[in-house]
Chains A and B, each alone.
Chain A
Amino acid sequence: ILNVEQSPQSLHVQEGDSTNFTCSFPSSNFYALHWYRWETAKSPEALFVMTLNGDEKKKGRISATLNTKEGYSYLYIKGSQPEDSATYLCAPPEDYGQNFVFGPGTRLSVLP
């Protein structure tokens, strides 16, 4: 089972602040990395699927970078809004399929 870590565990920011958090994963045998956004009482939703070293993805105010050689990915949120409050999960698959190993998540709270 892969060891996937996320930091920080939780984060409180003011509306308008920019923030970032980290996902660390084994750099050997890298296949892909998924980021999911999980709001309370809802189902996790995919943000990004990252596959190449140096890959950078962007969706609105949220972006993510990937370093497969050192085994980490950063998720950035620019100008946080209260609706960004959620738990952000990263998950590399164990192999070429869809058996994910999820990190414990970073819980973001954006205060108005």
Chain B
Amino acid sequence: NAGVTQTPKFQVLKTGQSMTLQCAQDMNHEYMSWYRQDPGMGLRLIHYSVGAGITDQGEVPNGYNVSRSTTEDFPLRLLSAAPSQTSVYFCASSSPNMNTEAFFGQGTRLTVV
């Protein structure tokens, strides 16, 4: 019963490096999203997708790219890492309706030095 799987759990990057955070879900959910969590702040939406081939920006999209080629996978790409992107990243999936709960991955703690 995997649910939402995120990899890696921890990552240290140097400024300017690029990387991809992986997210996969096995619940056939149409909706997937990426959030970042910073101290003293709530989870903030980076990008989201309402289905394969469809993505859109959230509140804090700058510096990140996403794609959704399959229902199961929703990777998040950091194009050129900056110290301001040091954060904990969560992937979530759900049915698209507002009345259904979201399921979260276990998070990726990213440090950019």
Task: Specify whether A and B are partners.
Answer: yes
Chain A residues in 8 Å Cβ range of B48: 98-99
Of the listed stretches A57-65, A75-83, A101-109, name the one at the interface; the rest are far from the partner chain.
A101-109
B98 and A44: CB pair below 8 A?
Answer: no
Q: Is A95 an interface residue (CB 8 A)?
A: yes
**Bound Cα distance from A41 to B10, whole angstroms:** 11
User: Which applies to chain B's interface (DSSP): helix, strand, loop or mixed?
Assistant: loop
State which of B31, B101, B105 has its C-beta within 8 Å of the C-beta of A49. B101
B96 and A98: CB pair below 8 A?
Answer: yes
User: Which applies to chain A's interface (DSSP): helix, strand, loop or mixed?
Assistant: loop
- Within the complex, the shortest CB–CB distance from B5 to chain A, in Å, comes to 10
Chain B residues in 8 Å Cβ range of A99: 33, 45, 48, 58
Chain A residues in 8 Å Cβ range of B104: 36, 43-45
Which of under 10, 10 to 19, 20 to 34, or 35 or more describes the interface residues of B? 20 to 34
Chain B residues in 8 Å Cβ range of A1: 59
**Bound Cα distance from A31 to B95, whole angstroms:** 16
Count A-side interface residues using an 8 Å CB cutoff. Answer: 28
**Bound Cα distance from A43 to B43, whole angstroms:** 12
Binding site for B on A (CB under 8 A): 1, 4, 31-32, 34, 36, 41-46, 49, 51, 89, 91, 93, 95-105
Binding site for A on B (CB under 8 A): 4, 31, 33, 35, 40-45, 48, 50, 58-59, 90, 92, 94-107
